[in-house]
Amino acid sequence: MAHLLDSLSSISNSNSFNKETVGNVVDLSDVPALKRLNVNVEQPCEQWPSLESNESYTLAVEKGHATLNSVSIWGALRGLETFSQLVYPDEDLLFAINETIIYDFPRFQHRGFLLDTGTHFISLKRLKMNLVSKFDEAMAQSKMNVFHFHIVDDQSFPYDSITYPGLSGRGAFDLNHIYSQADITELLEFARQRGIRVFIEFDSPAHSRSWGRAYDILTKCYSGEQPNHKQGPMDPSRNTTFEFLKNFFYEVAQIFPDRYVHLGADEVYFDCWYLNYISYGEDWHKYYMCDPLNFTEFVDSTNVISTTWPRASAAAERLWSSADVNDVKEAIPRLEEHRCRYLRRGIPAAPVNGPSYCRTEYND
């Protein structure tokens, strides 16, 4: 065990385990001071994280010093998050940490979290809450590394296109529910600094009614041989549709740095169906045992944080950890502890394990 000096305690102020979770320590009067954490990154810093990024790291905490070694800057970020979670408060010494050696790496390179802003607009502030800082580390604390941004849908087109400004001008709910180019740039940089990829989705060729409010690219529907004045998915029979998509996705490739774009491509028929699922309490057990999916017809800025966290952390643990880390009973105290950590960091994560309390409650 070591006592953290002020220079290190500032890294992990209120990011910690409860003291009793790390053992019964009687006397801390003669423990050595942890004077520094040395971080060594082998490769030059990449500008953007990618699917191929190496997130592995080694963390050694010894008497007087700690060392974090990683291949890439993204591995260093994951290791720093682990370091902050190893630190716990002590009544006499302010903060303390146990000696340990950790070799860690993710099971999956893509550990994503999807938000749909086409059915319900979610403000930039709330989007940043999910990525990180006073709402600063919801994804980063759980070592998720992909923000799957389902930005448009039938209901609205909130992306402010440079090439086709009418898409948001006529396709958004209104002009107050639009992500400007400045918003997108800020979000991309905000995510990059925390090692999170922004994986953009422009749902097509179905779920595209909002596209057709300003541009004539949708299929004209018929009842028998007569037009019925309804519209279907994007019309593949006209060359103008493909020219439109070519120009639009050229812009998307210039704005979003990730190598991948999601096109949705689901439900390409006229009578669409939706899956809506929202629940509470110990429902996270289902997410822990399988791949979770949450459509957001009932989620917006008012409840996206408490609905998502810490439930998504259950999936995040499965995506990062070894395949044999899958016992729900063993995960319960970890998720409970992680929820309390969220509250200490200012994230209003909901209770998920029944009656309990955290020493530090959320205070907006």
Q: What is the pLDDT of residue 246?
A: 96
Question: CA-CA distance, 34 to 66, in Å (whole number)?
Answer: 7
In terms of Cα–Cα distance, which of 36, 25, 34, 29 is closest to 2? 34
CATH 3.30.379.10 domain residues, the chain: 2-104
Report the CATH architecture of 2-104.
2-Layer Sandwich (3.30)
Phi, psi of 201 (to 5 degrees): -125, 125
Tokens standing for residue 131? 């990525």
Phi, psi of 193 (to 5 degrees): -65, -15
Q: What is the pLDDT of residue 271?
A: 39
DSSP β-ladder status, 57-62 and 88-90? unpaired
CA angle 342, 347, 349 (to 5 degrees): 70
In terms of Cα–Cα distance, which of 214, 220, 219 is closest to 204? 219
Mean pLDDT of successive 10-residue segments in the chain (364 residues)? Answer: 43 35 51 89 95 96 93 96 89 83 94 80 66 56 90 91 95 89 92 93 86 90 76 86 96 96 70 45 64 57 76 85 87 87 84 80 75
Catalytic residues: 267
Task: Say what the pTM is.
Answer: 0.70
Report the CATH architecture of 108-364.
Alpha-Beta Barrel (3.20)
Region of 229 (left: φ > 0; alpha: ψ -120 to 50; beta: rest) is left
Torsion, Cα of 298, 362, 144, 56 (10° steps): -170
CATH 3.20.20.80 domain residues, the chain: 108-364
Burial degree of 152 (CB within 10 A; 0-12, 13-18, 19+): buried
Q: What is the pLDDT of residue 360?
A: 78
